[in-house]
Structure 1
Amino acid sequence: MVEKCEVWYGGNFRATGSIIIIIIFQLLINLHSYFHDPGTFPLSCSLIHVACVCAGHNASRDVVTLVKSILFHRRNPLHFHFITDAVAHQILSSLFQSWMVPSVQVSFYDAEELKSEVAWIPNKHYSGIYGLMKLPLTKALPSDLTKVIVLDTDITFATDIAELWAIFRKFTDKQVIGLVENQSDWYLGNLWKNHKPWPALGRGFNTGVILLLLERLRRIGWEQMWRLTAERELMSMLSTSLADQDIFNAFIKQNPVLVHQLPCFWNVQLSDHTRSEQCYTEVSDLKVIHWNSPKKLRVKNKHVEFFRNLYLTFLEYDGNLLRRELFGCPSQPSADSLRSALEDLDEDDQCYDFRRERITVHRLHLYFLQYEYVPTDESVDITLVAQLSMDRLQMLEAICNHWEGPISLALYMSDAEAQQFLRYAQASDVLKHRKNIGYHIVYKEGQFYPVNLLRNIALRQANTPYVFLTDVDFLPMYDLYDYLRKSIVQLDLAHTKKALVVPAFETLRYRLSFPKSKAELLSMLDMGTLYTFRYHVWTKGHAPTNYAKWRTATTAYKVEWEADFEPYVVVRRDCPEYDQRFVGFGWNKVSHIMELDAQEYDFVVLPNAFMIHMPHAPSFDISKFRSSSSYRHCLTTLKEEFHQDLSRKYGAAALKYLTQEGRTSQN
């Protein structure tokens, strides 16, 4: 099965001072290439096809750096062909749909359907079965696709990929595959005593970068030829050590006339056993860097600092800068609805920035880290849903210590911050062992914190029947996860429309001896160590919870909706989403609770549940709200429009909300 997803977008090019050096370096490389061999420097707008095998969370993250390096240098339309497992398909399809890069098409092919083609081959390489999936590409890719560049995910381009594509023109009539010589001694068999590699032509070839003439390969019967080669060699070798590379090399040893040897700078291989320094004289000669080592940046090379900086540049490069039209190439059909929506906005509107934010498309990288959680069979499992930015990262470990159940988090970050978060999570003894947390990166764009967009993304990715909608600066009481699952059964949330309210409290102390029971919390409340949430600044937000009744309650009790009510609730996952017109500070939770009420949810307060807000510096958006009259004016305007939309949607049932339009509300 082949699923094709074509994505086009007409964006604006933006450059910052931090990338000027790279742009100049790229121009120098282009000039160097042109004067040395102008025939390999295509100026046409022909479509270039690139294929990658990508499976799992880590490879999906790695391939983004490769794609960035290609997009940065390219001047041609591109078509990426990804052979993926279910995880990578979900991650990459949402990434490219939200990235909306102009003149880029993306197609996905199910790796599951290719497993039977290669599963019979014993393989000791760490890439596992996916390391063999380049072999059946002639079968996996469309039959009308005549040629393709095949890349490993740990590749970084230092030049325009069109130069590599142009090398197809240099193939002889018999050549079907282009490869760079292997830069280690692996196939010479002298790395250690009794080392016996697969047969290869001389030093052999590395398959991190491959040019495949698919049409000719099909014509010569490639499918049968590589199979016969593998069967023959496995009789003595028993298994592959370097996955597909061993079979490619054994095939080439028998059919040397079929290979076109690429200049070694098209695959400068960096690992402990390579001699990549012998491949080039100047770094300006470099075209492609291949980090073919699990150790990545710790390999030895005289120019390793240059390689590391080039790699890190694209690792942390702002992907929004790549949403630029190609110069000199015809514009392709783009996201017309988005363009139309932007054109419909009135730039003289005082609230233009708010309205533009609502239609901004943010890049999205789902499941940025490993996620392996499978919901229980009880049908009452519940996911904690929250959002955060870099300044709240320190809360994650504490939340994990309080909540053992699944968590779905949307993180609003720049590309560079996402890498900082990755290092933080991998170094954390708490986080690195938790596989039931879905981390979803929403890349920064625009002037406001898109709080309700973030909440919706985290909500959509929850894979349990129920969700606990909270904020990341709250610590749940110990064992709240188990208590909520029991309450879901007792209060029959499966068959009733209820929103279970978890009463919220706060402390002004950065160090707190967290209460282990309701009795201990009440004692701290009486001593003034704790307060009901926002008691000092916004009592209306949680007053309907009726804290006085909660103090003595032993059973759940129903409360009525009141204006500006914004509790933290447990609901079924199919609840209404948050209204994304509300960004930054103000009315983002209030509007959601109002819609729950409009849909006739009952608000039921849990008698033995609580959560505590931990102190932190005020957010940038709350400061803007307090200091800007324009900000507050626009929030009032958005509230009025929300009320109008609500009454159109729910009719007479929403009339009670219109009477509240004049009230001043907060987040």
Structure 2
Amino acid sequence: MAGAKITRVKRYGYRAILARPWLALYGALLMVVIVSILYYLSLEDDPDNVLGFNARELRLADRIRDMQEQNTMLRHQLAAAHSQLVAVLDEHGRKHNWDGGRPEPLTKCSEISVVIVCAGYNSTRSVVTLIKSLLFYRRHPLHFHFLVDDISEKILNHLFLTWGVPQVEVSMYKIDAQVRSEVEWVPNKHYSGVYGLLKLLLTKILPDSLKKAIQLFALVENQSDWYKGSLWTDHRPWPAVGRGYNTGVILMNLERMRQHNFQQKWRLVAEKYLVSYYATQLADQDVINAVIKMHPYMVYKLPCQWNVQLSDHTLSEDCYSEVTDLKIIHWNSPKKLKVQNKNAEFFRNQHLTFVEYDGNLLRRQLFSCPVSSESRWRGGLAQLAQLSEDDPCYDFQRARLVQYRTHLYFLDFSADAARGATVTLVAQLSMDRLQMVEALCRHWEGPVSLVVYMSDAEAQVFLQYVQQSPVLRQRDNVAYHVVYKDGMYYPVNYLRNVALREVLTPYVFLADIDFLPMKGLYNALLRTTAELLEDGGRPKALVVPAFETQRYRLTFPESKAELLNMLDMGDLFTFRYHVWAKGHAPTDFGKWRTATTPYTVKWESDFEPYVVVRKDQIPMYDLRFVGFGWNKVSHIMELHALGFQFIVLPNAFIIHLPHAPSLDIAKFRTSAQYRQCLKMLKESFVQELEKKYGGNFSSYVV
């Protein structure tokens, strides 16, 4: 992935300003103010107070009056110096024709650069909707330049890596402490915080090679009366020309801005107005409008259709006669989609269209332009091209090579809470198992790494479900990752690998979403996991015995004793004893009934227990196994090939809850071709396993 390292450029500050002889007065006057204040403060500690309290008080009063008169004079002189400086910079800009010239016309394959500030978990969801709309309407190759923090960088990097859209390049620019310090000195009351000020730094952050835009500033007029100061009593907005300009959409000529020291201009303006306004209310928009107020020739006014602002107090309805004229729709109200507008339903439907639009459709190459040699999608296409569609197992082979579009951390997540824990439960699910997430979180207090396989439209249902759940919205240690649907088969092992890679704890509990852990299992594992897995020697896997119920309504056992009683009464059974006993028979449930200490069991063919292991010791799941069959068996077989020892926990259990069979199980049971393809996959896996680790596993393929 293309990336650009942020490099420091020449800083324009007071040192450069004071180099001009006529500005020496500005610095001298500033020093006089500082010395005066320091002198006044020193009087409080004068040890030679021989005049007595009243005389000292009179002396201080006289000095205060003198200092106030001097400061009044100095303020006038400073204001004059500041105005002189602004005038010189203004004249410098006019001489160099800031607003002159037109950009060269775009050719068919001209690359258009889009700069987006994105920080935090939740903001990435909004960015995806924006990106889908841009990709849908584009007619040229795009290059996205993202200003990111650590969180959004990880999410967006992985998203574009797995999305694989042709003629799209991505560059990331880390907003670290050094960069933030350039604007953190500007107090900002806007909810965007420091990130709302970062557009002021684009000329420093973005590479010098990025220079295309229309004018110095190309903006749409603000469509509310905010900057007129008439919205409520005592409303005092920053200076602006008329209604001001909205900076949600800006076209910038970065090259001209660098040539004429835009960094210096906005700093001077911000310093001037912060003295009386104390903080910005609308982040960079206040500063940029104040700059334009002082230098009105700098702005190029765009037609309002390029930024139709749907806010609480908006004149956007006067901007257009037909909605087909619109170019960019901007929800810039805290209420977002709840704004009142005669075309509100149309706008909401437009938004919903792209929220739910299948992003996989945007992978299609719409126009022929040279593709970068480091394209992220070319390798996968080449491998897919080598497959024969006449192969009866083509869909299985293709599923292994699909690059599933993946959005990590779809909702807010506390990484610190997860890192402070010991064991993370790993699971995956589709939308038909969504109701099981709440029950899982009631039984498991520790971190969870959860992958959901769904469509773009289903993702919105999932989002609402989590946000409205009183159980789930209180949990900040559950990482939700979304993998978008693609192909015929459920990519179960791909999903497990996504969840496994994002675990932040040293140990993982490899489970399935349709199992409920015994209450208190997390705390029980805290007491035993490290002791059992860190004693040296062979790597170990701790087996958590699995049971099942045929009842949709079950009184969950509170202890092992209650579970044994339910087994005897026929309310519970050992997992899959009646259809696939081989899967868990090696657990030795007979021994488990009376065991009080952990015991070792031997691996056998088709063994597929649910285990707790060290994250740094286990391999990823094999991607050739999709749908139903051998997806866990192959993983446990590889653990055995690696020399893992299987130890059964005597006081732990999980219970499988009943649900409708999956579509893939139905295919396995009804299609001889499905079973034949699965056998072929088993054989290829075993051959690779023997080549990699040695040993003889061929006899286990049936």
Tell me if the contact between 2:217 and 2:250 (Cα under 8 Å) persists in the aligned partners.
yes
Whole-Å separation in 1 of the counterparts to 2:419 and 2:606: 37
Q: Which residue of structure 2 aligns with residue 633 of structure 1? A: 676
Q: Which residue of structure 1 aligns with residue 24 of structure 2? A: none
* TM-score with structure 1 setting the length: 0.88
Q: Could you report, residue by residue, the CA deviation over 1:366-397 in whole angstroms, capped at 9, with x for unpaired residues?
A: 0000011325787x701000000000000000
**Cα distance, 1:147 vs structure 2:** 2.5
Moved more, 293-302 or 463-472: 293-302
Tell me if the contact between 1:4 and 1:106 (Cα under 8 Å) persists in the aligned partners.
no
Whole-Å separation in 2 of the counterparts to 1:142 and 1:67: 22
**Matches of residues 21-36 of structure 1 in structure 2 within 5 Å?**
none
**Matches of residues 533-612 of structure 1 in structure 2 within 5 Å?**
533-574=575-616, 575-612=618-655
**Matches of residues 444-483 of structure 1 in structure 2 within 5 Å?**
444-483=485-524
Tell me if the contact between 1:189 and 1:196 (Cα under 8 Å) persists in the aligned partners.
yes
Match of 1:131, as an amino acid?
G
**Matches of residues 157-236 of structure 1 in structure 2 within 5 Å?**
168=214, 171=215, 176-236=216-276
**Matches of residues 58-207 of structure 1 in structure 2 within 5 Å?**
58-112=122-176, 113-147=178-212, 168=214, 171=215, 176-207=216-247
Which stretches of structure 1, 4 residues or longer, exceed 6 Å deviation after superposition?
A: none
Partner secondary structure for residue 3 of structure 1: coil
**Matches of residues 518-529 of structure 1 in structure 2 within 5 Å?**
518-529=560-571
Task: Identify which of 396, 404, 411 aligns with 1:369.
Answer: 411
Whole-Å separation in 1 of the counterparts to 2:259 and 2:382: 47
Flag the 1:364–1:309 CA change in 2: closer, same or farther, 3 A: same
**Cα distance, 1:284 vs structure 2:** 1.2
Flag the 1:498–1:290 CA change in 2: closer, same or farther, 3 A: same
**Cα distance, 1:339 vs structure 2:** 2.8
Whole-Å separation in 1 of the counterparts to 2:670 and 2:287: 67
Whole-Å separation in 1 of the counterparts to 2:198 and 2:110: 27
Partner secondary structure for residue 57 of structure 1: coil
Q: Could you report, residue by residue, the CA deviation over 1:7-57 in whole angstroms, capped at 9, with x for unpaired residues?
A: xxxxxxxxxxxxxxxxxxxxxxxxxxxxxxxx9995622110110110011
Whole-Å separation in 1 of the counterparts to 2:208 and 2:105: 28
Whole-Å separation in 1 of the counterparts to 2:412 and 2:686: 41
Q: Could you report, residue by residue, the CA deviation over 1:575-600 in whole angstroms, capped at 9, with x for unpaired residues?
A: 11111100000000000000000001
Tell me if the contact between 2:238 and 2:290 (Cα under 8 Å) persists in the aligned partners.
yes
Whole-Å separation in 1 of the counterparts to 2:361 and 2:372: 18
Task: Identify which of 387, 401, 407 aligns with 1:345.
Answer: 387
Is structure 2 residue 113 aligned with structure 1 residue 46? no
Moved more, 180-189 or 369-378: 369-378
Match of 1:369, as an amino acid?
L
Whole-Å separation in 1 of the counterparts to 2:105 and 2:272: 41
Larger RCO, structure (CA 8 Å, separation 6 or more): 1
Tell me if the contact between 2:419 and 2:505 (Cα under 8 Å) persists in the aligned partners.
no
Partner secondary structure for residue 114 of structure 2: strand
Partner secondary structure for residue 374 of structure 1: helix
Whole-Å separation in 1 of the counterparts to 2:490 and 2:690: 27
Flag the 1:360–1:504 CA change in 2: closer, same or farther, 3 A: same
Tell me if the contact between 1:103 and 1:326 (Cα under 8 Å) persists in the aligned partners.
no
Flag the 1:602–1:551 CA change in 2: closer, same or farther, 3 A: same
**Matches of residues 213-612 of structure 1 in structure 2 within 5 Å?**
213-333=253-373, 334=375, 335-374=377-416, 381-493=422-534, 495-496=536-537, 497-574=539-616, 575-612=618-655
Whole-Å separation in 1 of the counterparts to 2:482 and 2:536: 34
Match of 2:682, as an amino acid?
K
Q: Could you report, residue by residue, the CA deviation over 1:638-661 in whole angstroms, capped at 9, with x for unpaired residues?
A: 11111101100011xx21x22212
Flag the 1:328–1:359 CA change in 2: closer, same or farther, 3 A: closer
Partner secondary structure for residue 94 of structure 1: helix
Tell me if the contact between 2:220 and 2:302 (Cα under 8 Å) persists in the aligned partners.
yes
Tell me if the contact between 1:385 and 1:408 (Cα under 8 Å) persists in the aligned partners.
yes
Whole-Å separation in 1 of the counterparts to 2:233 and 2:654: 63
Tell me if the contact between 1:410 and 1:442 (Cα under 8 Å) persists in the aligned partners.
yes
Whole-Å separation in 1 of the counterparts to 2:349 and 2:417: 42
Tell me if the contact between 2:417 and 2:477 (Cα under 8 Å) persists in the aligned partners.
no
Whole-Å separation in 2 of the counterparts to 1:59 and 1:421: 17
Match of 2:314, as an amino acid?
T
Tell me if the contact between 1:56 and 1:88 (Cα under 8 Å) persists in the aligned partners.
yes
Tell me if the contact between 1:186 and 1:203 (Cα under 8 Å) persists in the aligned partners.
yes
Match of 2:576, as an amino acid?
R
Tell me if the contact between 2:418 and 2:504 (Cα under 8 Å) persists in the aligned partners.
no
Tell me if the contact between 1:545 and 1:605 (Cα under 8 Å) persists in the aligned partners.
yes
Whole-Å separation in 2 of the counterparts to 1:63 and 1:636: 43
Q: Could you report, residue by residue, the CA deviation over 1:74-109 in whole angstroms, capped at 9, with x for unpaired residues?
A: 010010000001110000000001100000000000
Whole-Å separation in 2 of the counterparts to 1:376 and 1:320: 32
Whole-Å separation in 2 of the counterparts to 1:121 and 1:249: 15
Partner secondary structure for residue 669 of structure 2: helix
Flag the 1:293–1:41 CA change in 2: closer, same or farther, 3 A: farther
Match of 2:589, as an amino acid?
Y
* TM-score with structure 2 setting the length: 0.84
Whole-Å separation in 2 of the counterparts to 1:328 and 1:397: 48
Flag the 1:219–1:43 CA change in 2: closer, same or farther, 3 A: closer
**Cα distance, 1:535 vs structure 2:** 1.0
Match of 1:253, as an amino acid?
K
Tell me if the contact between 2:190 and 2:196 (Cα under 8 Å) persists in the aligned partners.
yes
Please give the root-mean-square deviation of Cα atoms over the aligned residues, in Å: 1.6
Whole-Å separation in 1 of the counterparts to 2:417 and 2:228: 50
Q: Could you report, residue by residue, the CA deviation over 1:157-211 in whole angstroms, capped at 9, with x for unpaired residues?
A: xxxxxxxxxxx2xx4xxxx110000011100000100100000000000000000
Q: Could you report, residue by residue, the CA deviation over 1:378-428 in whole angstroms, capped at 9, with x for unpaired residues?
A: 7x7010000000000000000000001000011101000111100111111
Flag the 1:373–1:340 CA change in 2: closer, same or farther, 3 A: closer
Partner secondary structure for residue 257 of structure 1: helix
Whole-Å separation in 2 of the counterparts to 1:328 and 1:587: 42
Q: Which runs of 5+ in 1 are unaligned?
A: 6-38, 149-167
Bigger fraction of residues in helix: 2
Tell me if the contact between 1:397 and 1:431 (Cα under 8 Å) persists in the aligned partners.
yes
Q: Could you report, residue by residue, the CA deviation over 1:56-81 in whole angstroms, capped at 9, with x for unpaired residues?
A: 11111100000000000101001000
Partner secondary structure for residue 136 of structure 1: helix
**Cα distance, 1:493 vs structure 2:** 3.3
Moved more, 341-350 or 451-460: 341-350
Whole-Å separation in 1 of the counterparts to 2:536 and 2:475: 32
Flag the 1:541–1:328 CA change in 2: closer, same or farther, 3 A: closer
Partner secondary structure for residue 581 of structure 1: coil
Tell me if the contact between 2:122 and 2:412 (Cα under 8 Å) persists in the aligned partners.
yes
Q: Which residue of structure 2 aligns with residue 57 of structure 1? A: 121
State the structure with more CA Rg: 2
